[in-house]
Amino acid sequence: MKIKDALKEQNGSYILEKLLNKDKAWLFLNDNLEVPKEYFEIQNKIKSGYPIEYIFEEVWFYGDKFYIKEGVLIPRDDTEIVVERAIKLINEKCKMKNEKCKVIDCCTGSGVIAIEIAKHTNAKVTATDISEKALEVARKNAKLHGVGIEFKKCDLFREKADILVANPPYVENFWQKPNEYEPDIAFFGGEDGLDIVREIIKKAVKFEIKNIILEIGYSQKKSLSEFLNQFECKYEFFNDLGGRVRGVEILFG
């Protein structure tokens, strides 16, 4: 197969750029060359369901490149709206306090939310996860981006903070994962997907955390509203770029 034929395939340009260590302009100028045999091996692996992000151990999120590996949730573009909302809230709160806010990023996974918050705010950020593999990836990403974050291995969180942010497991148990290589523990949140979300909220009340931003599923607005109505709080759901509910911002007290 010639390069010009591979460029017509999905992910063709990206794979060749990585394999040959060349940019897209070089590929078009040399499109009569044969593709390396590794190209076919990679394409076959992708067609079998293996994520391309794991093959090259990189993923782009919020305009930045991050390290990723098998067994850790791959960040999705939909989560960027949660990050934007969190950054706005944190900067407003820090300005009001005239000092650094303490922020917890619960269920941090690869650490992308915590890192973007650390890069775009003056907050003191703590990131937690129950998975040592996820924390290993998150620590490496924090080092790559030159930000100071305190990482803790624990179930959800164990301390007070000004603001809590989380992209927890919220997929209903009956849903099929997009692939078999990302961990179940990062996806599934019970029969209605809200088991861990509810636990996070109850724990936030216990630790008197006033401000929470959570990513949730588009079909969970009604169920979560019914749960939140038992607390003295205000809450607002917000949508992703596709117009679907993607998160909720909660204010206690």
Q: What is the pLDDT along the chain (253 residues), one digit of tens a residue?
A: 999 999 999 999 999 999 999 999 999 999 999 999 999 999 999 999 999 999 999 999 999 999 999 999 999 999 999 999 999 999 988 777 667 899 999 999 999 999 999 999 999 999 999 999 999 999 999 999 999 999 999 999 999 999 999 999 999 999 999 999 999 999 999 999 999 999 999 999 999 999 999 999 999 999 999 999 999 999 999 999 889 999 999 999 7
DSSP code, position 23 = -
Phi-psi region of 107 (alpha: psi -120 to 50; beta: other; left: phi over 0): left
Q: Which of 154, 156, 166, 133 is nearest to 67 (CA)?
A: 133
Q: Which residue has the tokens 């060749």?
A: 16
The pTM assigned to this predicted structure is 0.94
Domains of the chain, each with CATH number or no CATH: 3-48 (no CATH), 77-252 (3.40.50.150)
Residue with tokens 């040399």: 30
> Tokens 């395939």 map to which residue?
9
* DSSP E strands, the chain: 58-61, 64-67, 102-106, 124-129, 150-153, 163-166, 211-215, 233-239, 245-252
Q: What are phi and psi of 245, to 5 degrees?
A: -60, 130
Indicate the residue type of 60: W
Answer for the pair 233, 250: CB distance below 8 angstroms, yes or no.
yes
